Structure 1
Amino acid sequence: MKHIVLCCFLVFSCLSLVAQERTVQGRVFSQLNGESLPGVNVKIRGTSTGVVTDINGFYEIAVPGPESILIFSYVGYLTEEVVVGERNSIDISLAEDLTELSEIVISGTRRAEKITETPATIQIIGEEEIAKIATFNPGELLARVKGVEFIRAGVAGTGINVRGFNSNFNAKNLQVTDGRFSTLVATGLPFGPLNTVIKEDIERIEVVLGPNAALFGPNAHNGLVNTITKDPRTSAGTTLALNAGNQSMFSARLRHAQIVSGEFAFKVTGEYTSAEEFEYADSVYIDRNADGIKEGYEEYLLDNTIEFMRGETALYYTPVDGTDLIFQAGGSNSTYLSPTNVGRNQIKDWRIFYTQVKLVSDNWFAQLYHTWSKTDSTYSIDDRTKGYYRFKDTNPELTEAQLRAASLTTGALFQDDSRRLNAEVQYNNDIDNNFFYTIGAQWQRDMANSLGTYLLDENAEDYITVNQLGVYGQFDYLFGDGFKVTAAFRGDNHDVYGFNFLPKVGLVKSGDWGGVRLTYGKGIAAPTILNMYGDLFGGLILGNAEGFTLVDGTVIEKQEVEEVQSFELGYKGQLVPKKLFIDANTYYNISENFLSPVTVIGVAAKRGDQPISEVQSAYAIYNGLVATYVNFGKFNTYGFDLGLNYFFTDDWSMGATYSYFGYGIDENNLENDFDKDGKVTPLDLLVNAPKHKGTASLNYMGDKFFGSIFSRWVQEFNYYSSFQIASETIPGLKYRGVDIVEDARSGDAWNYGPLGGFLTFDVSAGYQFNDMFRLSGQVSNLFDTEMREFTAAPPTGRLYSLELQVQLPAID
């Protein structure tokens, strides 16, 4: 009888549970514009049960009873909790999260998390900032990021370094776009103006200060710039943008995104931009006299034309809920002037292409992509100018057309037909919602080919191939009360410079007030293919993958990686709730085996085991005199960055940043004697960064009107980058064997004096007529302040631009 009663009780209990459990469905909207929100997480509180809204914002979830609480969460929106009760249908609108403390980032740990909870110093350039700056070049916004060494080299060229050590050929910052390494194969330089992304397709840019190599690999040494583009499923519609301004600037850009069905969506983008560079001619010094005195000449056949064409396409396919297949491809063609360590390069029709396929699910991420780099007619203006006059003096019978052709045969021509293959797989999950882990592996094959023009290859079939394999992992444990411990690692094996292990650990305490973080990380700057296998100007500059033996027997070791260990303490929070926000960090770095700029090492007898006469194509001219890249020294850098934002009202705000950068070097350690003059001086450590810099801004963001006044101050500082110099007069010190004298010739370059030393103002304003039309304008360097931001580049003059944006609604 007992068994019969027990069975009846169990059956009744099961029937009761079945009766209680029911399906709730509904739709999630945005309070901002009333549009549906796909990809919203809908979870039952206290359980691991959850679903994600579909392309039209719909969801359906089984709940155990009326007491169940549904949690709706979405990046960029405030989380909402709703008691189910007796309802079978629940629609909800999520409000946009406007507080700085709730911004979501992915660059700190490779998964979405609040910026106050990430173990890294990350600055965000948001979609609204990007959309409302009236220029084709969103890189201008990097000037507003604290802790960044920002430079502008003319109309289109912008670049950054982080925490010192800027140079005219800086490969120590990693640029990533939608998970792809966006760097040139041979030089390792960020794409910068060569990138294929248009401004209107950028969702946000995350800038990581300090090393982030444990997750992203070598050359996230000083920092990372991570660009994330828009998902067509959440940004459907058509955008047309037109810009016009001084320097004959014109830009037209188009983006179209469309949802085809619940499974398919796509987007296409395109841009054409043209302009004229500021009038400026760098001096090229040539010995044309019997007395051997070098005289300055203007750059030969200087072309101030700027022209960019770029575009992309992407197809998003959702075979099952929670899993996406994404196919992307893009290309660009660029012409502009680019500063280098040896004068300027005339970038001519440099093309970048890529194809990419990604698999994205709740726990898995995998991708495969292929990148191409091509140019046929880029050249060094400095070397071509020297070649022109050399042929003109020694062959007076040549016509101008013949001289023009001959001037490219001196080693000035740079051709490129390089490619890169990348593959990655990653898995992430959690245990009991308090232990999160991410593990992954990356493979990269660089295949560099200069068609024998600037690398130690010989022809179109002679690729310099370098392989690299890396594995990484990150583990986060939540202790409760906002405490989180992070540990990460990366192991990389490289064909040339071997194996490196990179750890990172961090402790974060966060809450509604903000977050405090303490981190330690190690990063490396890896020699590029150009550093290892370069062959420029007839072999005057040679790569150092195998080391050199000088004629006096001195051995120059092959170049290895540069290492940096970084300790950082940071805080991001609100001093006055919803009014005054602060973002501050201080850091201390220990750097070893600094990667030098190109430097003359003396007369070589061998490169590796090969006689230098067999390597140096212009041996008859240089007789073994070689410039290359070396490692040297151990030194420390330190500083702090401060950012403040104050909101007077929802519409009015002001902001300010300040950064300090300092360094220390052991003057008694001759390993720090870079120029080998027997003593350690400030010129042995080329800091190339101001001690002090800051910004201030006043901003208005209304329903219709918007605008800002932005000012930037950079302290005057001395700058040395290989053959380039910008320095005050320093009695008693020499650079490359020449006295350092301001406003005078220094070797083959002209020393115009220190960089920085300016206060400049930018203004912008705009009006949103309706949902379709927006007109905006800006003036950079409002007062046309004389300011030199870079060597081998024109002083930045006043630039103004108007932009009209037309936004057409999505097609049903």
Structure 2
Amino acid sequence: MKKLFILLILMCTKLVFAQESGRIKGIVKDTNGIALSGATVQVNQLKKGTITDKDGNYSVDKVPEGKYTVTISFVGFESATQSVAVLKGKTAEANVNLQEVSNMLNDIVVTANKKPQKLTEVPATINIIRARDIAQFASFNIGELASRQKGVDYVRSGVLGTGINIRGFNSAFNSKNLQVTDDRLSSLIATGLPLGTFSTVTKDDIERVEILLGPNGTLYGPNAHNGVINSITKNPRTSEGTTFAIGAGNQNVLTARFRHAQVLSDKFAYKVHFERSQGTEFDYVDSVYIGTVGKPELELNRDFSTVKYGTGLYYKPSSNSEIVGYYGHSNNNNISITNAGRNQIKDWKIDEFQIKYISPRFFANGYYTKSNTENTYAINQRTQNYYSFVNNGFSEEESLRRSYAEQWVPSAGVAINRGSLFKDDSKRLNGEFQYNNNWSNFYLTLGTQYQKDMADSKGTYLLDSNGGINIVQTGFYSQFEYKAPESKWNFLLAGRLDNHELYGSTFLPKAAITKSFEKGTVRFTYGNGISVPSILNLKGNLFGGLIIGNGEGFTLKDGKKIAKLEVETISTYEVGYKGSLSNKLTIDVNAYYNKSKNFISPLRNIASAANPVTHVGDQPIGTVVPGSTGTFILTYSNFGQVDTYGFDLGLNYAITPDLGAVFNYSYFGRDLDKNDLKNDGNLDGIVLETELPINTPQNKFNVGLNYNKNRFYGSMYARWIQKYDFFSGINIAAKTQDLNGDGTNDVIVNARKGRTWNYGQLGGFSVDANMGYNFANGLTLGVSVTNLLNAKNREFVASPIISTLYAFELKYNVNFFKSKKAAIN
């Protein structure tokens, strides 16, 4: 009886409370009437909110009587605010039709703080490649769209190869920009290089790409050094339907793609995607020097191909939470540029498995990545191996066979181990947990990340002949924000502690202040980033012990110690402004100052016959590298410190509602102390500009026009890159110059330098264009042209001159399920 009495009291209390409060409900759609699932709804005065369900519906319960403003936002759409009055026991409605972003200042982004934010509130410079930009670009390689962004160093190394760098320190082996796709690291396990074309995601499944300029290591961890490139794919609840696409272009380019997304119920939705692309690289063969004689690359295959497919399953356990499962696969054949020559990539496969949980308060993410290749090889080394045999009387058949693993030494009459084959059977396990909450104007983010790299080269290019190499990294981060809505001041403090098995612990702080005005926002930011040595840097064993990684340090015969590699660090101070200069003109401008140190040096010999390496760490050299005498060891070490600075300017002008103009300009400078021997990368007693991997133009700009009206669209962009020198390993692209000041030119244009040929500086002027038409039945015909004027520019080392490339694409979009639902209704 007592329990029944208590239950009645609780029920009455609940009924009375429900009568004293009300609720807000509504539906969120786009301007075409399509429901938007996953839109964020916030009752501003209560700091309380939810997200919309698959049909765009939302409900915020237990709202006290009063007047409120409700803000509704969704990535890619302009946020909207409505005022509502809530009465006791009643329901107030706030229905909204969101408009696709036309003004960049109204856009919603997620990269900077790992949660939706209005672009003007973000304390960082972010470029956005939107869904419409991607859909209207006919090429399957959307990396080309990065060339239209401010502050981005974009290069093309061939028909397939495109690369992105941010704020200097580029190389042919660049891992300083962290690439992320749907909260997964998109990088190779052993080398740390971005996946790029190895990605398992297809063009038609990408919703947007956000490019954050500057370090953001606090939330993202190691290698968010110069920036973060975040690709976000489409949720099937907001992209239901089927897409078929076929494309073709010069250089034998052919592509076929398929994507299908379907909402099965309130709880379940899924998507699948597939792509097969192929083509032939430009007719370019690099020189491999055998002594003083240049030879063509052995058995060069210029044909490239990629196959990608994947599937995602989406489950909503509640109206404001979601569980996502994903599997993706890619298989790749192409030519890859490195700082030691070029590689012939053969059937390099990537597999990704992911499951994550998303809710307003909690985020949990786990994924597993596999990398596998059996037949990839270093073209340069294999060519040298081949000629060492064929030039000494061996048959063609035997020379080709032994070129993968051995080099003949005629003076000794023996073959030595100089393996050129790269096998890979590496795996990576990642996990992350994040908690978010807010109290009034205070916002807290806490998180932890775990990464276990399990590298396995099967003894071909790592010190793993006795099994794979396992390295664990962990990170703990926190971020605290205070937002004052009345004064419009926002303050942010964040910190991250990282721990790596080999290089130890690193702390990364971040601080930012923003102040919003009627027409824009000013920001002041301080942030740190680190670029960690890759497993290849730490545990490499290339070409039969010629190159050894420096994960433990070395000891020479005379007792001298060579310290193990540490992380490269960068500290950045930045000020910026985003806002409107008029109703038609918007501006995004920043200025920054970087302090960088502990670069990873070029490969350099640390030993000699008189003073060989005796130990790697605490183990004898002969144990680590069987047969090695330690008399010639190439490795890496840390050196140098340099200050860099620059600014980026972006202007967008709406000439008419259908025609817009874009202007982007970037400046980059540096301050190198040539009297500081810490900057002597090769330890020859002379500090040279070439030893620091700056490799970026001082000035660059692009200007563009974008037109969209009715069913027709078109864009044209002109891009100018000031000529600049590029030094990376054996690769050189530079003007004629005297490097060491002895009165003799060390680098000469159109002449050999070391083991490569110098064709001169990179950069130049080019024009790109695209256009298309959307037919009424869901059919789209598009065309894109890269280097429209056929300018004879070489954009990267060990690469051909980039000629005009054109691509045609025919795409068909249909939603069978929408038609069936309409017929039923």
Q: TM-score, normalised by structure 1?
A: 0.93
Q: Deviations over 1:44-87 (max 9, x none)?
A: 55334544332112234557688644625021233131435887
Q: Structure 2 matches for 1:77-116, cutoff 5 A? A: 77-83=78-84, 91-116=95-120
The 3 A distance-change label for structure 1 pair 407 and 562 is same
Secondary structure of 1:625's aligned partner: coil
The 3 A distance-change label for structure 1 pair 204 and 395 is same
Q: Which residue of 1 aligns with 2:766?
A: 760
1:182 paired to 2:171: no
Q: Deviations over 1:624-644 (max 9, x none)?
A: 212211110121011111111
Cα pair 1:738 1:746 within 8 Å, conserved: no
Cα pair 1:78 1:96 within 8 Å, conserved: no
The 3 A distance-change label for structure 1 pair 62 and 209 is closer
Q: Which residue of 1 aligns with 2:585?
A: 580
Q: Which residue of 1 aligns with 2:436?
A: 428
1:496 paired to 2:492: no
Q: Structure 2 matches for 1:278-427, cutoff 5 A? A: 278-287=282-291, 294-396=292-394, 398=395, 400-410=396-406, 411-427=419-435
1:477 paired to 2:486: no
1:744 paired to 2:751: yes
Q: Structure 2 matches for 1:28-47, cutoff 5 A? A: 28-31=28-31, 33-44=32-43, 46-47=45-46
- Which residue identity does 1:286 align to in structure 2? I
Cα pair 1:258 1:810 within 8 Å, conserved: no
Q: Post-superposition shift, 1:726?
A: 1.1
Q: Which residue of 2 aligns with 1:672?
A: 679
Query: Which of 127, 130, 142 is equivalent to 1:126?
Result: 130
Q: Which residue of 2 aligns with 1:290?
A: none
Q: Which residue of 1 aligns with 2:269?
A: 265
Secondary structure of 2:380's aligned partner: helix
Secondary structure of 1:716's aligned partner: strand
Q: Within 1, Cα distance between the matches of 2:607 and 2:656? A: 64
The 3 A distance-change label for structure 1 pair 13 and 135 is closer
- Which residue identity does 2:454 align to in structure 1? M
Q: Within 2, Cα distance between the matches of 1:614 and 1:23? A: 72
Q: Structure 2 matches for 1:789-804, cutoff 5 A? A: 789-804=795-810
- Which residue identity does 1:27 align to in structure 2? I
Q: Post-superposition shift, 1:322?
A: 1.2
Secondary structure of 2:382's aligned partner: helix
RMSD: 2.3
Cα pair 1:564 1:589 within 8 Å, conserved: yes
Q: Which residue of 1 aligns with 2:56?
A: 57
Q: Within 1, Cα distance between the matches of 2:133 and 2:325? A: 28
| More moved, 762-771 vs 677-686 | 677-686
Q: Post-superposition shift, 1:404?
A: 2.1
1:228 paired to 2:232: yes
Q: Post-superposition shift, 1:794?
A: 1.5
Secondary structure of 1:404's aligned partner: helix
| More moved, 41-50 vs 127-136 | 41-50
Q: Post-superposition shift, 1:347?
A: 0.5
- Which residue identity does 1:401 align to in structure 2? E
Q: Within 2, Cα distance between the matches of 1:44 and 1:392? A: 77
The 3 A distance-change label for structure 1 pair 788 and 499 is same
Q: Which residue of 2 aligns with 1:8?
A: none
Cα pair 1:252 1:272 within 8 Å, conserved: yes
Query: Which of 733, 753, 758 is equivalent to 2:740?
Result: 733
Q: Post-superposition shift, 1:22?
A: 5.3
The 3 A distance-change label for structure 1 pair 553 and 208 is same
The 3 A distance-change label for structure 1 pair 685 and 64 is closer
Q: Which residue of 1 aligns with 2:165?
A: 161
Q: Post-superposition shift, 1:16?
A: 9.3
Q: Post-superposition shift, 1:473?
A: 0.9
- Which residue identity does 2:73 align to in structure 1? Y
Cα pair 1:242 1:252 within 8 Å, conserved: yes
Q: Structure 2 matches for 1:546-561, cutoff 5 A? A: 546-551=552-557, 553-561=559-567
Q: Deviations over 1:438-479 (max 9, x none)?
A: 0000011000000011001116xx010101111001111012
Gaps in structure 2 of 5+ consecutive residues? 1-11, 407-418
- Which residue identity does 1:370 align to in structure 2? Y
Q: Within 1, Cα distance between the matches of 2:693 and 2:760? A: 16
The 3 A distance-change label for structure 1 pair 17 and 677 is closer
| More moved, 695-704 vs 85-94 | 85-94
| More moved, 61-70 vs 793-802 | 61-70
Q: Which residue of 1 aligns with 2:176?
A: 172
| More moved, 404-413 vs 348-357 | 404-413
Q: Within 1, Cα distance between the matches of 2:578 and 2:366? A: 36
Q: Within 2, Cα distance between the matches of 1:521 and 1:88? A: 44
Cα pair 1:449 1:455 within 8 Å, conserved: yes
Secondary structure of 2:105's aligned partner: helix
The 3 A distance-change label for structure 1 pair 240 and 445 is same
Q: Within 1, Cα distance between the matches of 2:453 and 2:224? A: 17
Q: Within 2, Cα distance between the matches of 1:131 and 1:508? A: 34
Cα pair 2:563 2:637 within 8 Å, conserved: yes
Q: Which residue of 1 aligns with 2:669?
A: 662
Cα pair 2:22 2:91 within 8 Å, conserved: no
Q: Deviations over 1:410-446 (max 9, x none)?
A: 31100000000011100001001x1111000001100
Q: Which residue of 2 aligns with 1:541?
A: 547
The 3 A distance-change label for structure 1 pair 403 and 101 is same
- Which residue identity does 2:719 align to in structure 1? R
1:444 paired to 2:444: no
Q: Within 2, Cα distance between the matches of 1:19 and 1:715? A: 69
Q: Post-superposition shift, 1:740?
A: 1.5
1:782 paired to 2:783: no
Q: Post-superposition shift, 1:554?
A: 4.1
Q: Post-superposition shift, 1:667?
A: 2.0
Gaps in structure 1 of 5+ consecutive residues? 1-11, 288-293
Q: Deviations over 1:497-554 (max 9, x none)?
A: 0000000000011244121111111111110000000011111111011222345654
The 3 A distance-change label for structure 1 pair 62 and 663 is closer
Secondary structure of 1:186's aligned partner: coil
Query: Which of 597, 602, 609 is equivalent to 2:602?
Result: 597
Secondary structure of 1:408's aligned partner: coil
Q: Post-superposition shift, 1:18?
A: 6.1
Q: Deviations over 1:610-657 (max 9, x none)?
A: 34344446748xx62122111101210111111111111111111111
Q: Within 1, Cα distance between the matches of 2:205 and 2:119? A: 23
Q: Which residue of 1 aligns with 2:411?
A: none
Secondary structure of 2:138's aligned partner: coil
Cα pair 2:665 2:701 within 8 Å, conserved: yes
Q: TM-score, normalised by structure 2?
A: 0.91
- Which residue identity does 1:402 align to in structure 2? E
1:640 paired to 2:647: yes
| More moved, 628-637 vs 489-498 | 628-637
Q: Deviations over 1:114-156 (max 9, x none)?
A: 1111111111111111111110011111111211111111011
1:608 paired to 2:617: yes
Q: Within 2, Cα distance between the matches of 1:582 and 1:48? A: 31
The 3 A distance-change label for structure 1 pair 160 and 600 is farther
Secondary structure of 2:746's aligned partner: strand
| More moved, 789-798 vs 410-419 | 789-798
- Which residue identity does 2:185 align to in structure 1? F
Q: Which residue of 1 aligns with 2:515?
A: 509
Secondary structure of 2:126's aligned partner: strand
1:464 paired to 2:469: yes
The 3 A distance-change label for structure 1 pair 97 and 763 is closer
Cα pair 1:232 1:267 within 8 Å, conserved: yes
The 3 A distance-change label for structure 1 pair 59 and 598 is same
Secondary structure of 1:386's aligned partner: helix
The 3 A distance-change label for structure 1 pair 682 and 327 is same
